């Protein structure tokens, strides 16, 4: 929650801490209902006077790490090299799709019995094709959270990214912008939780009257912005719908 403040959260934005898993935080004015299927909803838990909402994914970077371990069993695997090749593959061109539930699903509607899956492979499928599908699956899992908030009346107009993946993978950040069809910005501060703690401390000490004032004065801003590519938005939309279909199939078969 302090990290969301350090990333200068505001109403109508979603702060997504992207690392091994994700923690997603949104804030909204007074809400007269409980939002179903998320991880927490507490009045004043992020910014006093607003309702803090928490969601997240059980695995994000951990999915990439699993792939590295799998293919690097007999030697070191260089993911950045593979990612460069992934970037040359047009989205939707491989026929390979994946589900990101390798550590279960946290949001929407937590279900730790669910498992990851890869679909559409054949003897011509390459490691970069599979890796691209895994990257896309984590992004689609993130899109499912954005859609869940929106379907429950929480407007999301911008996504603020922080954490290791946000700085290490411009490709994933652009995929997010294209899949969400929203601007994605990356917090300039590497330690947003520490910065958020300092902001709260400054308010508690009386240096600033409220958290919003501390965020405006102490915030580090953003050092990268990714805008949706209009040509790719419909491509990713079609792929996301397939992701949802595969998800329903796997969930139906999961006891």
pLDDT tens for residues 152-182? 999 999 999 999 999 999 999 999 999 999 9
Q: pLDDT digits over 88-102, tens only?
A: 999 999 999 999 999
Element (H, E) at 203: helix 192-204
**The pLDDT of residue 72:** 82
**The pLDDT of residue 32:** 87
b vs e for 200-236, b when ≥16 Cβ sit within 10 Å of the residue's Cβ?
bebbeeeebeebbebbeebbeebeeebebeeebeebb
Cβ atoms of 12 and 158 closer than 8 Å = yes
- Kindly report the number of other CB atoms within 10 A of residue 245's CB atom: 12
Q: pLDDT digits over 101-132, tens only?
A: 999 999 999 999 999 999 999 999 999 999 99
Q: What is the pTM of this model?
A: 0.96
**The pLDDT of residue 74:** 65
Q: pLDDT digits over 198-236, tens only?
A: 999 999 999 999 999 999 999 999 999 999 999 999 999
Cβ atoms of 73 and 109 closer than 8 Å = no
**The pLDDT of residue 75:** 72
Token pair, residue 206, equals 């009386």
- Kindly report the number of other CB atoms within 10 A of residue 73's CB atom: 8
Q: pLDDT digits over 22-74, tens only?
A: 999 999 998 989 999 999 999 999 999 999 999 999 999 999 999 999 988 76
What is the distance between the terminal CA atoms of the chain, rounded to a whole angstrom?
34
DSSP strand E in the chain: where?
13-18, 22-28, 40-43, 51-57, 97-99, 117-119, 158-162, 184-187, 222-226
Cis amide linkage into residue 108, ω under 30° from 0: yes
* pLDDT(186) > 90: yes
* pLDDT(188) > 90: yes
Cβ atoms of 17 and 28 closer than 8 Å = no
Extract long-range pairs of 223-227: CB within 8 Å, 24+ residues apart: 223/186, 223/187, 223/188, 224/170, 224/173, 224/185, 224/186, 225/183, 225/184, 225/185, 225/186, 226/170, 226/173, 226/174, 226/176, 226/177, 226/183, 226/184, 226/185, 226/186, 227/177, 227/183
């Amino acid at each position: 929650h302090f990290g969301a403040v350090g990333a200068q959260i505001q109403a109508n934005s979603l702060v997504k801490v992207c690392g091994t898993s994700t923690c997603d935080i949104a804030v909204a004015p007074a809400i007269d209902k409980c939002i179903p299927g998320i991880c927490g909803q507490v009045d004043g838990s992020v910014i006093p006077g607003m309702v803090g909402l928490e969601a997240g994914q059980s695995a994000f970077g951990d999915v990439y790490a699993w792939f590295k371990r799998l293919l690097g069993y007999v030697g070191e695997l260089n993911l950045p090299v593979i990612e460069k090749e992934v970037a040359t593959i047009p989205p939707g061109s491989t026929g390979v799709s994946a589900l990101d539930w390798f550590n279960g699903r946290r949001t929407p509607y937590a279900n730790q019995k669910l498992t990851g899956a890869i679909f559409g492979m054949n003897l011509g499928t390459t490691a970069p094709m599979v890796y691209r599908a895994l990257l896309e699956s984590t992004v689609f899992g993130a899109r499912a959270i954005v859609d869940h908030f929106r379907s429950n009346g929480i407007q999301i107009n911008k996504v603020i990214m922080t954490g290791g993946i946000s700085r290490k993978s411009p490709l994933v950040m652009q995929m997010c912008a294209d899949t969400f069809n929203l601007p994605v910005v990356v917090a300039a501060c590497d330690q947003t939780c520490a910065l958020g703690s300092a902001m709260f401390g400054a308010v508690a000490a009386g240096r600033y009257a409220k958290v919003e004032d501390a965020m405006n004065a102490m915030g580090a801003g953003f050092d990268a912005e990714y805008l949706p590519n209009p040509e790719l938005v419909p491509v990713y939309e079609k792929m996301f719908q397939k992701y949802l279909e595969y998800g329903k199939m796997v969930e139906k078969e999961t006891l």
